[in-house]
Amino acid sequence: ADLVDAETEAQRRQAVRIAGGALRRECEEIRALLVEGMATVEALLDFSDVEDAADLTSASVRKAARHALDRMDRALSTADSAERLRSGFVVVIAGPPNVGKSTLMNAMLKQKISIVTNKPQTTRHKILGILNGEGHQIIFFDTPGIITPHYLLQEVMMRYASSALDDADIVLLLVDAEKMRAGEYVKDHTAFQKIQSVKKKTFLAINKIDRVDKAALLPMMEGFSKAFPFEEIYPISALNSEGIVELTNGLEARLPEHPPYYPEDIVSEAPEKFFVGEIIREKIFEQFSQEIPYSTTVDIVAFNEREKRKHFISAEIFVERQSQKGILIGKAGSALKTLGEKARKEIEQFLGHPVFLELHVKVRDNWRGDETWLKRLGYDAKS
């Protein structure tokens, strides 16, 4: 119950600790009972004159009891191994917009979890990703780019970023090497102010080093180390996976010994329905320009899995003005058809199953500034 009711990562971890200890104690008590029961059976089998002893089959009873003990020993051994696993660690990937945060998380997980486009503010939620490696588990949060919000949706996005930072064990601040070279980062930058205010251990990752002269990296790193007390600084290229192993190893070295918080066969806790909506939104960002991507959101209204037929998915795309609806649909529906084809192909790849995708475009005036509609569309303004 404590785990279900946990609202923050810190509360979740405490609940897991309590549950793990209780489970181990329960296993130990069961084992003690099995040992006692086996001793009783052995005594019965050793005295043939005991009443009903003849009804006991020596080989089968002993085999069953020993099998139960073996299983319990393995369970306890697994619990011991889990306790030695390096885990219990939340890394929040944060930074300004369009520096490659989503690309970095996908590269570290070696799987696409966050949508990626060349436009800023693509990520609107805090997205959890789980890295399960040899003897370790790291929990990542991809977060919206840190900005000064100008409307309610952006305020909600910044609350998501803030709540993730509150749960962080380590903040992984990501910056763009090209912008660093151009002198765009200054000490009072919005993202740096936010990171300084949370007072958490912070790593710096300088991304997109494939686009700058390597000789320029050392002065960049020295400049940042003087401006902020980073724990460690890593030059990387998330797109080319350069420096990712070194960064992962650096994070792993800070992990405490702790049982994993999530099963080792999952990479995120979000439902498939969420990722399907994100894929459609990604294709909107890729296909359209100017205000269209930022004025749209996607609501999955039907998600019917059918084993022997195509999955049926129906999605509503909301815009703020009638003119935007016309652009999304296009002449004779051509633009919407193209969007649907591109989204369907990636959704099928993600789900591993053929899909029938149905798209509808609706107008909801100023949905980005309406708290009721934001909540209905999956953006909780009170988070």
Pairing of strands 90-94, 170-176: parallel
Q: What is the pLDDT of residue 366?
A: 96
Q: What is the pLDDT of residue 45?
A: 59
Which of helix, strand or coil describes residue 270?
Answer: coil
Contact 258, 87 (CB under 8 A): yes
Q: What is the pLDDT of residue 359?
A: 98
Residue owning tokens 């369970």 = 75
Query: Which amino acid is present at 332?
Result: A
pTM for this entry: 0.78
Q: What is the pLDDT of residue 13?
A: 56
Which spans in the chain are helix H?
A: 2-5, 9-46, 58-84, 101-109, 152-167, 177-181, 190-198, 217-227, 244-252, 272-287, 322-329, 334-351, 371-376
Q: Starting at the edge strand that comes first in sequence, how are the strands of the sheet with 127-133 ordered? A: 127-133, 136-142, 90-94, 170-176, 201-207, 232-235
| 52 vs 194: CA distance, rounded Å | 76
Residue owning tokens 């509503």 = 316
Contact 95, 171 (CB under 8 A): no
Pairing of strands 201-207, 232-235: parallel
| 382 vs 116: CA distance, rounded Å | 26
Burial of 175 (0-12, 13-18, 19+ CB in 10 A): buried
CA angle 220-224-226, nearest 5°?
120
Contact 125, 160 (CB under 8 A): yes
Q: What residues contact residue 283 under an 8 Å CB cut-off, 6+ apart? A: 339, 342, 343, 346
Contact 106, 113 (CB under 8 A): yes
Running along the chain, 383 residues long, what does each successive block of 10 average in pLDDT? 50 57 64 69 59 52 66 61 61 95 96 94 95 88 95 96 93 92 66 88 95 89 88 96 96 83 88 97 96 97 95 98 97 97 98 97 97 93 62
| 102 vs 83: CA distance, rounded Å | 31
Q: What is the pLDDT of residue 265?
A: 85
Q: What is the pLDDT of residue 121?
A: 93
DSSP state of 368: G
326 sits in the region (left: phi over 0; alpha: psi -120 to 50; else beta) called alpha
Q: What is the pLDDT of residue 304?
A: 96
Q: What is the pLDDT of residue 4?
A: 45
